Amino acid sequence: MADDKDKAHSAWRAAERIKLLSDRLIGVGPIGIGLDGVLSWVPVAGTVYSVGAGGLLLAHGISAGASLATLARMAAYIALDSAASVPPVVGWAIDTLFPGHLMAAKALQKDIEARHGPSELPPHWRRMTKAKKSARVRV
Protein backbone atom coordinates (compact mmCIF):
# COMPACT_ATOMS: atom_id res chain seq x y z
CA MET A 1 0.00 0.00 0.00
CA ALA A 2 2.83 2.41 0.83
CA ASP A 3 4.31 1.70 -2.61
CA ASP A 4 1.02 2.73 -4.27
CA LYS A 5 0.94 5.89 -2.17
CA ASP A 6 4.56 6.74 -3.06
CA LYS A 7 3.88 6.11 -6.75
CA ALA A 8 0.76 8.28 -6.62
CA HIS A 9 2.54 11.12 -4.83
CA SER A 10 5.37 10.91 -7.35
CA ALA A 11 2.74 11.31 -10.10
CA TRP A 12 1.28 14.28 -8.16
CA ARG A 13 4.68 16.01 -8.16
CA ALA A 14 5.22 15.24 -11.86
CA ALA A 15 1.80 16.75 -12.62
CA GLU A 16 2.83 19.85 -10.65
CA ARG A 17 5.97 20.23 -12.79
CA ILE A 18 4.06 19.77 -16.06
CA LYS A 19 1.36 22.19 -14.89
CA LEU A 20 3.89 24.91 -14.07
CA LEU A 21 5.99 24.38 -17.19
CA SER A 22 3.04 24.21 -19.59
CA ASP A 23 0.72 26.90 -18.28
CA ARG A 24 2.27 28.92 -15.44
CA LEU A 25 5.85 29.96 -16.24
CA ILE A 26 4.73 33.60 -16.29
CA GLY A 27 1.72 34.71 -14.30
CA VAL A 28 -0.19 37.96 -14.49
CA GLY A 29 -3.01 37.86 -11.97
CA PRO A 30 -5.16 34.81 -12.66
CA ILE A 31 -3.74 34.35 -16.18
CA GLY A 32 -0.58 32.41 -16.81
CA ILE A 33 1.43 31.49 -19.87
CA GLY A 34 3.89 28.65 -20.23
CA LEU A 35 5.60 26.65 -22.94
CA ASP A 36 2.28 25.43 -24.32
CA GLY A 37 1.10 28.98 -24.96
CA VAL A 38 4.40 30.16 -26.42
CA LEU A 39 4.90 27.13 -28.65
CA SER A 40 1.32 27.30 -29.92
CA TRP A 41 2.50 30.11 -32.23
CA VAL A 42 5.09 27.80 -33.82
CA PRO A 43 3.35 25.54 -36.35
CA VAL A 44 3.68 21.84 -35.52
CA ALA A 45 5.90 22.45 -32.45
CA GLY A 46 2.94 23.62 -30.37
CA THR A 47 0.85 20.58 -31.24
CA VAL A 48 3.75 18.21 -30.65
CA TYR A 49 4.45 19.74 -27.24
CA SER A 50 0.77 19.80 -26.28
CA VAL A 51 0.17 16.17 -27.21
CA GLY A 52 3.47 15.06 -25.63
CA ALA A 53 2.89 16.82 -22.31
CA GLY A 54 -0.72 15.63 -22.28
CA GLY A 55 0.35 12.06 -22.97
CA LEU A 56 2.85 12.28 -20.15
CA LEU A 57 0.15 13.52 -17.78
CA LEU A 58 -2.13 10.64 -18.80
CA ALA A 59 0.71 8.13 -18.32
CA HIS A 60 1.27 9.49 -14.80
CA GLY A 61 -2.47 9.25 -14.16
CA ILE A 62 -2.52 5.61 -15.24
CA SER A 63 0.55 4.76 -13.14
CA ALA A 64 -1.03 6.49 -10.13
CA GLY A 65 -4.20 4.41 -10.54
CA ALA A 66 -6.48 7.38 -11.22
CA SER A 67 -10.14 6.60 -11.77
CA LEU A 68 -11.50 6.19 -15.29
CA ALA A 69 -13.63 9.30 -14.81
CA THR A 70 -10.53 11.34 -13.92
CA LEU A 71 -8.57 9.93 -16.86
CA ALA A 72 -11.48 10.73 -19.20
CA ARG A 73 -11.71 14.30 -17.88
CA MET A 74 -7.94 14.72 -18.29
CA ALA A 75 -8.11 13.36 -21.86
CA ALA A 76 -10.92 15.81 -22.69
CA TYR A 77 -8.94 18.80 -21.40
CA ILE A 78 -5.85 17.70 -23.32
CA ALA A 79 -7.83 17.03 -26.52
CA LEU A 80 -9.42 20.50 -26.34
CA ASP A 81 -6.05 22.10 -25.69
CA SER A 82 -4.39 20.26 -28.58
CA ALA A 83 -7.28 20.76 -31.02
CA ALA A 84 -7.39 24.50 -30.34
CA SER A 85 -3.98 24.91 -31.98
CA VAL A 86 -5.11 23.47 -35.33
CA PRO A 87 -6.72 26.59 -36.89
CA PRO A 88 -4.05 29.24 -37.51
CA VAL A 89 -3.92 32.52 -35.59
CA VAL A 90 -7.34 32.40 -33.84
CA GLY A 91 -6.70 28.83 -32.68
CA TRP A 92 -3.21 29.73 -31.56
CA ALA A 93 -4.56 32.66 -29.52
CA ILE A 94 -7.15 30.40 -27.88
CA ASP A 95 -4.49 27.76 -27.17
CA THR A 96 -2.27 30.41 -25.59
CA LEU A 97 -4.96 31.29 -23.04
CA PHE A 98 -6.61 27.86 -22.49
CA PRO A 99 -4.83 26.10 -19.59
CA GLY A 100 -5.62 22.53 -20.62
CA HIS A 101 -2.54 20.95 -19.06
CA LEU A 102 -3.15 22.86 -15.83
CA MET A 103 -6.76 21.63 -15.70
CA ALA A 104 -5.75 18.03 -16.45
CA ALA A 105 -2.97 18.15 -13.83
CA LYS A 106 -5.35 19.56 -11.20
CA ALA A 107 -7.88 16.79 -11.95
CA LEU A 108 -5.15 14.18 -11.42
CA GLN A 109 -3.88 15.86 -8.26
CA LYS A 110 -7.39 16.04 -6.82
CA ASP A 111 -7.93 12.33 -7.55
CA ILE A 112 -4.62 11.41 -5.89
CA GLU A 113 -5.35 13.56 -2.83
CA ALA A 114 -8.81 11.97 -2.44
CA ARG A 115 -7.30 8.47 -2.41
CA HIS A 116 -3.91 8.98 -0.73
CA GLY A 117 -4.06 12.30 1.10
CA PRO A 118 -2.21 15.49 0.24
CA SER A 119 1.26 15.28 -1.24
CA GLU A 120 4.09 17.14 0.39
CA LEU A 121 6.19 19.28 -1.89
CA PRO A 122 9.94 19.13 -1.30
CA PRO A 123 11.21 22.11 0.77
CA HIS A 124 12.98 23.75 -2.19
CA TRP A 125 9.67 23.72 -4.16
CA ARG A 126 7.88 25.51 -1.33
CA ARG A 127 10.52 28.25 -1.36
CA MET A 128 10.35 28.47 -5.16
CA THR A 129 6.55 28.65 -5.13
CA LYS A 130 6.52 31.43 -2.51
CA ALA A 131 9.19 33.40 -4.38
CA LYS A 132 7.36 32.92 -7.66
CA LYS A 133 4.07 34.09 -6.13
CA SER A 134 5.64 37.20 -4.67
CA ALA A 135 7.34 37.97 -8.00
CA ARG A 136 4.10 37.83 -9.96
CA VAL A 137 2.79 41.08 -11.28
CA ARG A 138 -0.70 41.82 -9.98
CA VAL A 139 -3.05 43.63 -12.30
Question: Could you give the CA distance from residue 84 to residue 63 in angstroms, rounded to a whole number?
Answer: 27
pLDDT digits (tens, 9 = 90+) for 89-117: 888 888 888 999 999 999 999 999 999 98
Contact between residue 113 and residue 74 where contact means Cβ atoms under 8 Å apart: no
pTM of the model: 0.83
Span 41-86, pLDDT tens digits: 988 898 899 999 999 999 999 999 999 999 999 999 999 998 887 7
- Domain regions of the chain by residue span: 9-24+40-115
| Distance (Å, whole) CA 107 – CA 69 | 10
